[in-house]
Structure 1
């Protein structure tokens, strides 16, 4: 099982996005619709996205 986690800035009663490290990518899913599945983003793309968001 993957270790899905929410942002530490999320409140317990709010929906948000969760992420999990996968074998060759990062998984992203919506907490309010987990059954729908997840999106996989390549490791280098995920790293660049996080770097851009942190500014």
Structure 2
């Protein structure tokens, strides 16, 4: 499993989410509330989310 990481677009802010990608999808957690747990997305859900982000950022 990979390490948790923040987007390079966060600019060093702690008001963002962190992602940990793995072979079956990805986990997402709130940077300010790490102890509250995380959401897990399977591979198809995670790809759909990333595709939506890429299509809206153009």
> Which consecutive unaligned segments of at least 5 residues does structure 1 have?
none
Moved more, 33-42 or 1-10: 1-10
1:2 Cα deviation after fit: 4.2
RMSD of the alignment, in Å?
1.5
The structure whose residues are more often helix, as a share, is 2
- 2:32 aligned partner: 32
Match in the other structure for 2:14: 14
TM (norm. structure 2) is: 0.81
Contiguous gaps of at least 5 residues in structure 2:
none
Q: Which residue of 1 aligns with 2:41?
A: 41
In structure 2, distance between residues paired with 1:46 and 1:16: 17
